Amino acid sequence: MLADQRREMLIALKEVVIPVLRRQGFKGSLNHFRRRNENNIDLITFQFNKWGGSFIVELAVCPKEGTTMIWGEEILPNKVTAHHMNNWYRLGSKSIDQDGIWFDYENAVTKEDYQKWQKGC
């Protein structure tokens, strides 16, 4: 059941959210998107709850050259994700320490149910 719900949520994201991200200049695929500009790289990651039924959107900014991890691994600009950065925010939070908005689809049944969460964004 949980796998079916996640599959339906991924379909809704692909139909509703990804086209908007593409129009805004983001590249990538679920779960990681990046948008390069002259000063930095904007990062968006969709983090799904490992127990199912919800996800959160994480946001970060990276130098345009990519980043280097504390242990020396270099992450290229076309591979960097929000999780590579020391500072990332969750959509809806006011600080790094605060949790954001978890989009809940646990009780979704119809296609419309999976798309409802986007109305509040």
Q: Take residue 65 and report the two structure tokens written for it.
A: 């050259």
Q: Residue 120 contacts by C-beta under 8 Å, 6 or more apart in sequence?
A: none
What's the pLDDT score for residue 3?
80
> What number is the average pLDDT over the span 74-85?
96
Tell me the average pLDDT of the chain. Answer: 88
What is the percent of the chain with per-residue pLDDT over 70, rounded to a whole number?
A: 94
Give the number of other Cβ atoms within 10 Å of residue 114's Cβ: 20
Asked if residues 43 and 60 have their Cβ atoms less than 8 Å apart, the reply is: yes
What's the pLDDT score for residue 31?
93
Distance of CA 121 to CAs 1, 18, 92, Å? 27, 14, 9
Looking at this protein, which amino acid is placed at residue 99?
A: D
Give me the DSSP letters along 47-72.
Answer: EE-TTSSEEEEEEEEEETT-EE-TTS
Looking at this protein, which amino acid is placed at residue 109?
A: V
Q: What is the DSSP letter of 9?
A: H
What's the pLDDT score for residue 119?
40
**What does the pLDDT look like over 5-39, one tens digit per residue?**
888 899 999 998 999 999 999 999 999 999 999 99
